Amino acid sequence: MKKFKAHTSTCPIVYTMTYIGGKWKPIILGRLLNGAVRFGKLAVQIPDISRKILTEQLKELEEDGLIIRHSYNEKPPRVEYELSGIGQTVIPVLMAMTELGSQMHEAITKHKRRQDLFAKKIPVKATSIPAISKKDSRS
Amino acid sequence: MKKFKAHTSTCPIVYTMTYIGGKWKPIILGRLLNGAVRFGKLAVQIPDISRKILTEQLKELEEDGLIIRHSYNEKPPRVEYELSGIGQTVIPVLMAMTELGSQMHEAITKHKRRQDLFAKKIPVKATSIPAISKKDSRS
DNA sequence: ATTGGCAGTAACGTTTATGTAACTAAAAGC
DNA sequence: GCTTTTAGTTACATAAACGTTACTGCCAAT
């Protein structure tokens, strides 16, 4: 997401977009809803993101204070990411996005007539991202 | 926003991103919160979006069923856009984003130490996007 | 007849985001 | 000594996204 050149203050949505805009950030944040997750697990849970991009996005999120990076000095390195205090503020956004996604999905499956229109938006591939669940902190 | 090749269904956030991902869509939708707005007014309210991109994004939003386009056959053309039924589902997302923006802003102005980190994310320019207000349906 | 406003569209150019492949360090296990 | 594992990094490449400028059609007013 290209950063905005404009807006001084007044539009909070624009402001927000500078933090969680971009293709992957909301998805990454969604993976952290249930607590700290290590790098490798994120990469597995979001199969279509490259490690390079994942690294970059995590770095940006950390610099913006939304997440916290914990690096443990262990034999094979271990690094975990979790939502920061402010980061928790994204939760309602993610919840609302989840709801919107469900509503859209329902609307599409309901009105068959619209399906062609909507279909092109979701080029399905084999790999899929698992839904958000309660607990899976284990690798 | 590049469209996702992956995910079959399970992650609603990914799903949502295919609809309101992208730099401008949430901002455009935010302008429609108070009812129908005509093209020219959107262009004025979002000064940094080009008309071409505005047109494109509106078209996509319409194709996705989130907004409705009303074209009146008048002397100088008049076209208005408004949230559709499903489109209303984005309102909570926008509200949450507004809240997040405010929280982030507050956090930044509060902790001066973090300001340098956060500052780079908001390259301020003269032009600004007006805040969302109750009513301004008039040109 | 010319100009102005509205809502675009077309052609073209630039930038940003994202992707791929190869490489690193350090300790553990064989 | 060699391989494996983890969390990256570096260099390079491409595709989306975004932008600028110029142009259109139509009617009304000058």
Q: Please, are residues B13 and A97 in contact by the beta-carbon 8 Å criterion?
A: yes
pLDDT band at A134 (very low <50, low <70, confident <90, very high): very low
Q: Strands (DSSP E) along chain B, which ranges?
A: 37-38, 67-72, 78-83
- Tokens (6 digits) for A105: 């999905």
* Helices B90-110, B12-20: inter-axial angle, 10-degree rounding: 90
pLDDT of A126 > 60? The answer is: no
pLDDT of residue A60: 93
Cα of B6 vs its chain's centroid, Å:
25
- Tokens (6 digits) for A43: 């990469």
Question: Could you report the per-residue pLDDT of A62-76, keeping only the tens digit for each?
Answer: 999 999 999 998 878
pLDDT, chain B, mean: 77
Cα(A110)–Cα(A34) distance, integer angstroms: 31
Segment B4-22 shows an average pLDDT of 74
Question: Could you report the per-residue pLDDT of A28-60, keeping only the tens digit for each?
Answer: 999 999 999 999 999 999 988 999 999 999 999
Strand D atom within 7 Å of B53 CB: yes
- Tokens (6 digits) for A64: 């913006």
Cα(A130)–Cα(A45) distance, integer angstroms: 7
Cα(A100)–Cα(A106) distance, integer angstroms: 10
Contact at CB, B130 and A10, closer than 8 angstroms: yes
Q: A111-120, B4-13, B14-23, B39-48: lowest mean pLDDT where?
A: A111-120
Which residues have CB atoms below 7 Å from chain C, the nucleic strand?
A 1-3, 22-24, 48-53, 56-57, 75-77; B 1-2, 38-41, 51-52, 55, 58-59, 69, 71, 75-79, 139
Cα(B63)–Cα(B81) distance, integer angstroms: 13
- Tokens (6 digits) for A115: 């399906």
Question: Could you report the per-residue pLDDT of B112-132, keeping only the tens digit for each?
Answer: 544 444 433 433 322 333 333
- Tokens (6 digits) for B73: 């056959």
Question: B81 vs chain A: nearest CA distance in angstroms?
Answer: 19
Of the two residues B36 and B47, the one the predictor is more confident about is B36
Cα(B107)–Cα(A7) distance, integer angstroms: 18
| CB proximity list for B119: less than 8 A, separation 6 or greater | none
Of the two residues B79 and B133, the one the predictor is more confident about is B79
